[in-house]
Amino acid sequence: MSLGSPWMLLCLALVPVLVLAYVRLVRRRSRRADRLAAEGLVPTPASRRDLRWRRHVPFALFAVALVLVCVGLARPTMSFALPQREGTVILAFDVSNSMRADDLEPTRMAAAKAAATAFAERQPSTIRIGIVAFGDSALTVLRPTSVKEEVVAAIRRLSPSGATSLGQGIFTSLSTIAGKPLQIDPSAVESEAGEVDIGFFGSSAIVLLSDGENTSEPDPLQLAEVASSAGVRIHAIGIGTPEGAVVEIDGFSVATALDEAQLTEIAEVTDGTYNRAGDAATLDRIYESVDLEFARVEKEREVTALFAAAGGLVLALGSMLSIAWFGRVI
């Protein structure tokens, strides 16, 4: 326990002063009672012996109340270990050229940003959100943080370019969750993806925002197996329409369409979910499916009110006992 105003403990000097005053008062009353008893006007000391212990109880309670109030005035602060649910969500953005398509208004990229921003703004402060952008390669745009303003700003900075590698997006997302670059042997992933051990991150999830068109290695399903072994669920959000659209890339007209089968399969491998963008309920379901862990968090709290309340209760108890036993407060 620490004190915000330790100098207020000087008030405790009043306690011994009051004790001395009380002792003098008791002695004076005792001498007066002895004189009256000698004259036969009050009960003798022997008949008053059973009251001796009770007459000191109210004052003892008053003294305790004064100590509690003095400590409260010093603004005590205590550290409490509180359980808190925590989790990490990585928003993995497809930023390939196909995200320029306008089959979602105004574009797929704008729709993905809107869905991700809505998701981030719904999260409590105990959820850390990171941003990964992937095209034919992938990079961590923002490491997991609970500061929503930073998440929204990172989302707004994204712009489309290049091809699409869903596998790179999943791999970089796992590295971001782990907090370190992961070294995964491509041959091990291809042959025994479910047995690749990168650690366990059961309170983490990846939200994959993509049109599902994969054009580059590695195989996203094999990386999804790695994620599943690590306890990380992948929730895929389809950006686009099955009918698709035509987008101009380097002077060429390229047809692009939403590949729901690919995204659904990736999600199913990790026991995640697949939904199309634009559904607010979808975002809520994704958060609810994140298996959060409980952590003990040390928090400092000022407990002046507790000491003041305890002092008041003890003072009230002493007053009631004094009145009940002696018909007076002291």
Which candidate, 250, 255, 151, 160, places its Cα nearest to that of 207? Answer: 151
**What is the largest distance, in Å, between two alpha-carbon atoms of the chain?**
123
pLDDT band at 139 (very low <50, low <70, confident <90, very high): very high
pLDDT at residue 102 in the model: 87
pLDDT at residue 170 in the model: 94
Q: At residue 190, does pLDDT exceed 70?
A: no
Length of the chain counted residue by residue: 330
DSSP character at residue 165: -
pLDDT at residue 94 in the model: 92
Q: At residue 74, does pLDDT exceed 50?
A: yes
Average pLDDT, stretch 251-267? Answer: 88
pLDDT band at 47 (very low <50, low <70, confident <90, very high): very low
Q: At residue 259, does pLDDT exceed 50?
A: yes
Q: At residue 296, does pLDDT exceed 50?
A: yes
User: How large is the C-alpha radius of gyration of the chain?
Assistant: 35
pLDDT band at 37 (very low <50, low <70, confident <90, very high): low
SS3 sequence of 28-73:
HHHHHHHHHHHCCCCCCCCCCHHHHHHHHHHHHHHHHHHHHHHHHH
> What is the value of pTM for the model shown?
0.63
The interaxial angle of helices 260-269 and 220-229, nearest 10 deg, is 20
| Cα atoms in the 13 Å half-sphere on the side-chain side of 252 | 7
In CATH terms, 95-291 corresponds, of 3.40.50.410, 3.40.50.920, 3.10.450.50, 3.40.50.1000, to 3.40.50.410
Q: Which of 93-97, 121-125, 134-138, 188-192 has the lowest mean pLDDT?
A: 188-192
Which candidate, 56, 61, 4, places its Cα nearest to that of 27? Answer: 56
Arithmetic mean of pLDDT over the chain: 80
SS3 sequence of 254-274:
EEECCCHHHHHHHHHHCCCCE
* Residues sharing a CB contact under 8 Å with residue 290, sequence separation 6 or more, in sequence order: 87, 89, 127, 203, 204, 205, 233
Supply 198's token pair: 């990168």
Alpha-helical regions (H) of the chain: 14-38, 52-73, 108-122, 148-156, 166-178, 186-192, 220-229, 260-269, 280-289, 304-326
Residue range 88-104, pLDDT digits in tens: 899 999 999 988 888 88
Average pLDDT, stretch 73-92? Answer: 78
pLDDT at residue 155 in the model: 93
CATH 3.40.50.410 residue ranges of the chain are 95-291
Highest mean pLDDT range out of 19-33, 108-122, 316-330? 108-122
Average pLDDT, stretch 314-327? Answer: 78
pLDDT at residue 289 in the model: 57
Average pLDDT, stretch 197-216? Answer: 86
| Residue 12 or residue 170, greater confidence | 170
